[in-house]
Amino acid sequence: MTEMRIYHNPSCSKSRGALEILQERGVDADVVRYLETPPDRATLEHILDAIDDDPQALVRTDDPKFKAAGLTKGDVATREQVVAVLLEHPEVMQRPVVFVGERAVIARPSERVLELLD
């Protein structure tokens, strides 16, 4: 199978669920704990290129940390703003993001990871 990578937050139930689905199917994935090693600009751009969602989908705008940072949805209205916010506040990145090759999904719900296993 093509290389698989998951941008994972172990404290997130959806992220743990996606990883569990992969493990149950015997899929070996490179696990990136993005809070320990935050993605750089190139990585964020790569994620945005690979997902089918609007750039804003990559930001947890409903997360208390988003509001505590003084951010509003207007602060992530464009792709460049999304990248800038996530570079400064990686803790508000939507998770998990799962890649197979050059395709990726935000696995919310966790079962969305199955879209990549076809």
Provide the annotated active-site residues. Answer: 12
The two three-digit tokens of residue 58, written as one number: 């990559």
- Tell me the C-alpha distance between 105 and 97, whole Å: 6
C-alpha separations of 115 from 52, 69, 103, 104 in Å: 12, 33, 10, 9
DSSP 45-59: HHHHHH-SS-GGGGB
5, β-bridge pairs:
30, 99
